[in-house]
Amino acid sequence: MSQIAINTSQNVNINFNISSIGERFLAFLIDSVIKIAYGIAILYLFFSVFDLGYILNGLDNWSQGAVYSILLFPTVIYPVVLESLMEGQTLGKKVMKIRVVKIDGYQAGFGDYLIRWVFRVIDVSVLIVGFITMIVTKNNQRFGDIAAGTAVISLKNNINISHTILENLQTDYVPTFPQVIGLSDNDMRIIKDNYLKALKIDDRQIITKLSDKIKGILKLEVDPTKMTERQFIGVVIKDYNYYTGKD
C-alpha cells in the first residue's frame, strides 16, 4: 500500500497509508445506498404518509421538478455537509475507515470540501475520468482532490492515536495546566512525537519552537526560572492524559 508523507503545522512528517481505489469505491457505494434510502423514505412520507401529492396537481413540469429538487436536495449536498461535520468523512468513508486530509498538513476546511464536491460532477458523472485520474496520480487523487489539495488516507493500519499519547501517572498526580483540554488527540500525538524526536537527538531548537507553539495556542505564560521548556512540555503531555482519562 502506497504512503503519503504529510508535513504538519508543527513541522513533523507523518506517514499515512493512501486509501485504495477499491476502498473509495465501496465508500461511494455505501453513501449512494444511504442517499437512495433517504430519497425513497422522503418520497414515501410526502406521497403516502402525509398525502401531499395534491400539491403537485396543476403545477407545470418545471414547478414539479422544483418540488422534487427541494425534497431530494439533502442527497445533493450530503458529501460536503458530512465531510465538513465529520472531519473529512461521510458515513461511507467512516465505515471503510478512510478520511479526506490536506496534503499541506493543515486541517481541511469547508472550502476544501466544497471544491471536492463541485468537481464531483466531473469525477462521478463521467466516472471513467475520476477512475483514470486516481490510477495515474501518485496519491490516488481524483480531480476534486487535485483542485482542493487533498488526498484520501486509510486509517485501518494506523496505531490508535490514544496508544501514542499514553503517560503513566501517579494516583496523586496534580495537573498544572487545565487549558490543555483545548487540544485534540491528534494535537497531542504531534506534540509528543515531535518532543520525543527532539529529545532523542537533543535538538534544543525544536524543543524551544514546540514549547513556544504550545504556549501560543493555549495562551500560557510560564516562568522559565521555575519550569524549563522540557519540563513544561512533559507537564502538558501528562496534564492532557490526566484530563482526558487516558491512563
Domain ranges for the chain: 3-154, 161-244
Q: Which residues contact 188 (CB under 8 A, 6 or more apart)?
A: 165, 237, 240
Q: What is the pLDDT of residues 174-227, one digit of tens each?
A: 899 999 988 888 888 889 888 988 888 888 999 999 999 999 999 998 988 889
pLDDT in the model for residue 71: 95
Helices (H), the chain: 21-44, 61-85, 91-96, 110-125, 127-136, 143-148, 185-201, 204-218, 229-244
Whole-number pLDDT of residue 159? 45
pTM of the entire predicted model: 0.64
Q: Which DSSP letter does residue 56 get?
A: G
User: pLDDT band for position 163 (50/70/90)?
Assistant: very low
What residue has cell string 504550545?
214
Task: Give me the residues paired with residue 16 across strands.
Answer: 4
Inter-residue contact 6 to 16 (CB < 8 Å): yes
Summarize pLDDT for 122-133 with one digit per residue, the tens. Answer: 877 655 777 788
Q: Is the pLDDT of residue 10 over 50?
A: no
Per-residue burial over 19-50, b = 16 or more CB atoms within 10 Å of its CB, e = otherwise: bbeebbebbbebbeebbeeeeeeeeeebeeee
Does the pLDDT of residue 142 top 70, yes or no?
yes
Mean of the pLDDT values across residues 25-44?
96
**Contact residues for 59 (Cβ-Cβ < 8 A; gap 6+):** 67
